[in-house]
Amino acid sequence: MASKKPENMTFEATIQELDTIVESLENGDLALDDALKKFERGIALARAGQGKLNDAEQRVSILLSNDDEAPLSQFDAQPE
């Protein structure tokens, strides 16, 4: 079964898979090639998770802004 692209996963699923990868890497019983593949997947998951957190932080910041005079700007859900 092919794994989902990290950007298409929920934050919770991303963290759960990342946790599983960390555990398997910490066990130290993987072949080098397998460990590198898992490490690459882990990096992709960590970056996607960080992006999701950044988006959530930006949305919360916008929602909590009490400045009615602040200019409106387009919310960009996809980082450039």
Span 59-75, average pLDDT: 74
pTM score, whole prediction: 0.73
Return d(Cα 47, Cα 7) in angstroms, integer.
9
Q: Where do the domains of the chain lie?
A: 30-62
pLDDT at 74 over 80: no
Residue in the structure block whose two tokens are 């387009």: 74
CB 19 within 8 A of CB 42: no
Task: Extract the tokens encoding 13.
Answer: 């699923």
Q: Which of 18, 73, 16 is nearest to 44 (CA)?
A: 18
